Amino acid sequence: MDLMHHIPVLLEATRRTLADVLGATGAWLLDGTLGAAGHSSVLLGDFPGLRVWGTDQDDQMLAVAQEALASFGDRAVTTRARISELGELFAAGDVPFEGAPAAMLFDVGVASPHLDQPERGFSFQADAPLDMRMDLRREVTAADIVNTWPADDLADLLFTEGDERRSRQVAAAIVEARRRSPIQRTGLLADLVEGVVGGGRIHGATRTFQALRREVNREDAELRAALELGERQLAPGGLLAVIGFHPGENRVVKRWAREAESRGAFERVHKKPIVADAAERRENPRARSAELRVLRRLDGGAASPSEGGVR
Ligand SMILES: C[S@@+](CC[C@H](N)C(=O)[O-])C[C@H]1O[C@@H](n2cnc3c(N)ncnc32)[C@H](O)[C@@H]1O
């Protein structure tokens, strides 16, 4: 399997928007969801003075990224970390470059290689252990949730994180099935859910799998940590770019951006989120639900960054 196979989403729009700060002398970018380094390698290529600190929670993706970034030498430094761990690294001064980052990029969610590897348990299209952890240091897997959560909690999760309208029926079917034997495989869960909600244009288990993945990886909490990190650590004038793929995710960013604007910490660079054009949507199905939001940190923000500003 080709782990490098990941097409960066909204690459041109990200490049164009961040160009404002990434070309400045001494600028560095924190790419907090490095993945296959698709965005970062293009940015390093386009801005000869730029340096990138690329972090990811997944060892396997980091290995892929290191290969992709090797030709940039010490302009690219990689670290294994969850977004929610980055605040501590900044506080401890455990940061590879001087001063505050000119930009931060968070392209949240799974990478295509995650979905392409059945053994990681993200996909309902292949039978595999029901895992879904992007960070294998996490203890709770999707199987743990499916086999131990009370029916009501399961139903709430499927409704809020997966937009599954038949969440109560799906949860009831899960509880009924697990009484007979634990649900340990993606195939079994996918068939069970499809039996309740039926098929259609998208697989019936899509929403359930999305909800489980978001819970296993605590994706909303991680996203909030990303936004807060931007407020604490970005240079004044620096840009915080977030690409979300899920309405829930996009809502979190939108609300936070509104509040951050009203307390004078950030301003929106574009009034509306940037979405993929028809050509990109055709070429990359992942791009269809992607929304890019970019915020500029203002001097009047709540916290002051460690050093310097960019404009
Ligand atoms: C959509 S991919 C990023 C792709 C990347 N921009 C590229 O072009 O190659 C998301 C990556 O972020 C990582 N990730 C997701 N949530 C994370 C988190 N909370 N902390 C650290 N890494 C995370 C995943 O492991 C995955 O490799």
Total domain count, the chain? 2
Cα–Cα separations (whole angstroms), residue 32 to 105, 135, 148, 272: 6, 14, 32, 23
Is the same domain home to 95 and 235? yes
Per-residue pLDDT at 5 exceeds 80: no
For residues 232 and 273, state if they share a domain: yes
Distance of CA 44 to the CA centre of its chain: 21
pTM of the model: 0.92
- Residue 7 has what pLDDT? 87
* pLDDT in the model for residue 195: 95
Query: What does 50-91 look like in DSSP terms, one character per residue?
Result: -EEEEEES-HHHHHHHHHHHGGGGGGEEEEE--HHHHHHHHH
Lowest mean pLDDT among 66-75, 86-95, 113-122, 168-177: 113-122
* End-of-domain residue from the set 191, 216, 241: 216
Does residue 224 sit in helix, strand or coil?
A: helix
The CATH number assigned to the domain holding 24 equals 3.40.50.150
pLDDT for residue 305 = 41
**Which residue, of 166, 196, 216, is where some domain finishes?**
216
31, containing H or E segment: strand 28-31
In a domain, 180, yes or no: yes
129 & 185 share domain:
yes
Residue with tokens 């909303």: 220
Q: Are residues 46 and 76 in the same domain?
A: yes
Residues 42 and 175 placed together within one structural domain of the fold = no
Domain range for 271 is: 11-109+219-297
Judge if 205 and 132 occupy the same domain: yes
Report the run of H or E that residue 29 belongs to, with start and end: strand 28-31
CATH of the domain at 189: 1.10.150.170
The band of 2, judged by pLDDT with boundaries at 50, 70 and 90, is: low
Domain presence at residue 285: yes
Q: Is residue 259 part of a domain?
A: yes
Mutating to test ligand 1, I would choose from 5, 41, 55, 57 the residue with most ligand atoms within 8 A of its C-beta, which is: 57
Q: Which atom of ligand 1 is nearest to the CA of 56?
A: 22
The pLDDT, as a whole number, for residue 310 is 52
Q: What is the mean pLDDT of residues 265-274?
A: 96
The residue to which tokens 């050093």 are assigned: 307
In this structure, is residue 87 part of a structural domain?
A: yes
The pLDDT of 18-32, averaged and rounded, is 96
In a domain, 5, yes or no: no
Ranges of H-type helices in the chain: 11-22, 38-46, 59-69, 83-91, 112-116, 142-148, 151-162, 167-180, 186-197, 206-216, 219-233, 247-262, 278-283
Task: Tell me what the pLDDT averaged over the chain comes to.
Answer: 92
Q: How far is CA 134 from CA 155, 224, 236, 241, 254, in A?
A: 23, 18, 32, 21, 25
In this structure, the residues whose C-beta lies within 6 A of any atom of ligand 1 are 6, 8, 33, 35-39, 56-58, 61, 82-83, 107-109, 111, 134, 222
Question: Does residue 17 fall inside a structural domain?
Answer: yes
311 found inside a domain: no
Residue 199 has pLDDT above 90, yes or no: no
Boundary (domain end) residue, out of 216, 246, 267: 216
